[in-house]
Amino acid sequence: MDCYFGSIHLPEDRQLDQSVVVSFKIPELGIKFKAPFDAVDANHGDLAALLALLEFIDSNQKYFTRHTYQIYGNNLKVINAVNRRDCLPPEFAPLIAKALGYRDKYRFSLAWAPLRSNPELEELFD
């Protein structure tokens, strides 16, 4: 099952205290999620979006008959950190560890997809 995640920064003149909107999409199930979040930077926002997706999958197993997940995002730093090819700053270690725990549990694959050529990712940010 293909899943998509990402975050987008809110404008400086926003009325919310949060700095980004985290989102994920599971097209096969018709699920699209968006929520404001107070991220310290783009990596934090994208990690929050990935964890929101993984927590949704974990909490809603009755809707997931297939147990293989291909997850796509457009933040290469986050994807490489979860794939253990790169490191993020130490303050993100607990979030990476949580994502790795979900990976051990669900054996998902995580890949980069360019935003502009992927309609599923583009739709997350409209």
Helices (H), the chain: 42-59, 76-82, 93-106, 119-124
19 membership: H or E segment, kind and range = none
Residue 14: its pLDDT value, please?
Answer: 59
User: Do the domain assignments include residue 4?
Assistant: no
User: Do the domain assignments include residue 5?
Assistant: no
Give me the residues of the chain with pLDDT under 70, please: 13-16, 117-122, 124-126
Residue 18: its pLDDT value, please?
Answer: 74
User: Do the domain assignments include residue 29?
Assistant: yes
CA distance 20 to 99: 20
Q: Work out the angle at residue 48's Cα, subtended by the Cα atoms of residues 45 and 53, and round it to the nearest 5 degrees.
A: 130
Residue 122: its pLDDT value, please?
Answer: 67
Q: Residue 69: CA atoms inside 13 Å, Cβ hemisphere, count?
A: 29
Give the domain extent around 18: 12-124
Give the domain CATH number at 52: 3.30.420.10
- Cβ-contact 52, 5 below 8 angstroms: yes
User: Do the domain assignments include residue 6?
Assistant: no
CA distance 3 to 106: 13
Q: How many domains does the chain have?
A: 1
User: Do the domain assignments include residue 97?
Assistant: yes
Residue 116: its pLDDT value, please?
Answer: 73
User: Do the domain assignments include residue 117?
Assistant: yes
